[in-house]
């Protein structure tokens, strides 16, 4: 009964999470640095566009443009992986 109520993820779920993290890392590593920085700051760290502009020393419009391009690249990379590759297989 302890295994059913354990807060620890199963070894299978840990493996899936590790694979997903590795795939995400490969996608991000393939992005040009100026896109990756903006994408990570906005999508992962939750920073606002204004905060990013100040942090990277770029105009706000440039941040919007880079984020748009980064999202397009990210979406294309996910499409190339195929259906369900980044989803958890429960």
pLDDT digits (tens, 9 = 90+) for 40-90: 999 999 999 999 999 999 999 999 999 999 999 999 998 887 665 555 444
- 32-81: CATH number: 1.10.10.10
Question: Please, what sign has the CA dihedral across residues 73, 77, 86, 30?
Answer: negative
pLDDT value for 88: 47
Reading the block at residue 88, the tokens are: 């958890």
Smallest CA-to-CA distance from 85 within 10, 21, 4 is with 21
pLDDT value for 84: 59
pTM for this predicted structure: 0.75
Residue 1, pLDDT > 90, answer: no
41 CB-near residues (< 8 Å, 6+ apart)? 47, 51, 52, 55, 56
For 58-76, the DSSP string reads: --HHHHHHHHHHHHHHHHH
Burial 16-39 (b: 16+ CB within 10 A, else e): beeeeeeeeeebbeebeebbbbbb
Q: Higher model confidence: residue 9 or residue 66?
A: 66
């Amino acid at each position: 009964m302890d295994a059913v109520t354990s807060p620890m993820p199963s070894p299978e779920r840990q493996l899936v999470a590790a694979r997903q993290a590795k795939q995400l890392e490969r996608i991000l590593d393939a992005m040009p640095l100026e896109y990756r920085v903006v994408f990570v700051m906005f999508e992962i760290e939750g920073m606002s566009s204004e905060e990013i502009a100040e942090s990277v020393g770029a105009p706000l419009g440039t941040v919007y443009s880079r984020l748009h391009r980064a999202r397009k690249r990210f979406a294309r990379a996910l499409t190339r992986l195929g259906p369900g590759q980044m989803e958890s297989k429960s």
